[in-house]
Amino acid sequence: MKVNTKLQHMLLSAPENKITSPATLIAIGMTGLRPHKLPEELTTAEKDLAGEVGRALMAPETEATDLLQKLLASHPDQPNLHYLYRMVLLHGDSAAAIAEFQKELDRDPRHVPSLLAIVREKERLAQFPEALAYAQRAVAAEPRNYAAHAIIGRVLVALDKVQDGLHELEVARQIEPNSPQIYFSLASAYAKLGRSEDADKARAEFLRLKNPGIKQ
């Protein structure tokens, strides 16, 4: 089941309105757990777990943390559960969040969402050598993942390996030509290399994609 990242971001933000429909909670839980099954293929136990995860994701942040802690205690090896717990934790405890990502990677060393999440956090903390190691693992795990190429490109540019970073960013653009953030990063890389015309074009494309209703 492919993850809708916009939906996942919405689910991980505490809502104002309570959702109580069991079917809706199961669907939300499945979005987080990403089982390779359709809803009708879930066992009773899997439906129950998905419903509990959905309830946790729709709870206020403090309550969500407690609910996910209890679910982790009873399902320590459940794929993606540590990842979801980290997504809640990251709002307030970076170190604890990274520790949960590491637990997800202990279960599956090629869990790309966790790898990329650690890279983003290391990047935010300006820990670029560490970020690069995780980014390399993400690219190796999913060579056609544009986000992995984009993030390793940003990290390489930050490490002053600008030409290598530019190559990765251009690969990301080839895979996903409609991501505004890729063009933003490309503009920075081109500028560092003194390619002002290319930098201007990348900035213009960033603005076009970021504001599709505005004529340039």
Domain that holds residue 200: 112-216
For residue 35, give both structure tokens.
Answer: 């089982």
Token pair 């290399």: residue: 193
Residues 147 and 96 occupy one common structural domain: no
CA dihedral 137→141→143→147, nearest 10 degrees, is -70
Return per-residue pLDDT of the chain as tens, 216 residues.
333 343 444 444 444 445 567 888 888 888 878 787 777 788 888 889 888 888 888 877 778 888 888 888 888 888 888 778 777 766 656 777 788 888 889 989 999 988 998 998 899 889 999 999 999 999 999 999 999 999 999 999 999 999 999 999 999 999 999 999 999 999 999 999 999 999 999 999 999 998 776 555
Residue 191 pLDDT = 94
C-alpha distances out from residue 26 to 42, 44, 48, 67, 167, Å: 10, 11, 8, 15, 42
Residue 32 pLDDT = 77
Q: Which of 91, 108, 125 is the last residue of a domain?
A: 108
Residues 120 and 100 occupy one common structural domain: no
Residues 178 and 104 occupy one common structural domain: no
For residue 15, give both structure tokens.
Answer: 């809502």
Residues 140 and 194 occupy one common structural domain: yes
3-state secondary structure of 10: helix
Residues 132 and 91 occupy one common structural domain: no
Residues 74 and 132 occupy one common structural domain: no
Residue 12 pLDDT = 45
Residue 174 pLDDT = 97
The domain that holds 167 is classified in CATH as 1.25.40.10
Give the other-Cβ count within 10 Å of 152's Cβ.
27
Residue 54 pLDDT = 87
Residues 5 and 101 occupy one common structural domain: yes
For residue 56, give both structure tokens.
Answer: 């946790």
Residue 4 pLDDT = 38
Q: Which of 50, 80, 108 is the last residue of a domain?
A: 108
Residue 213 pLDDT = 63
Q: Which of 108, 129, 161 is the last residue of a domain?
A: 108
Residue 166 pLDDT = 97
The total number of structural domains that make up the chain = 2
Nearest to 131 by CA among 150, 106, 104: 150
Residues 42 and 129 occupy one common structural domain: no
Token pair 């500028």: residue: 191
Residue 95 pLDDT = 79
For residue 76, give both structure tokens.
Answer: 């320590």
Residue 68 pLDDT = 85
Residues 70 and 135 occupy one common structural domain: no
Residues 126 and 163 occupy one common structural domain: yes
Return the amino acid letter for 15: P
Residues 6+ apart with CB under 8 A from 116: 134, 135, 138, 147, 148, 151
Q: With beta carbons less than 8 A apart as the criterion, state whether 114 and 83 touch.
A: yes
Q: How far apart are CA 164 and CA 136, in angstroms?
A: 13
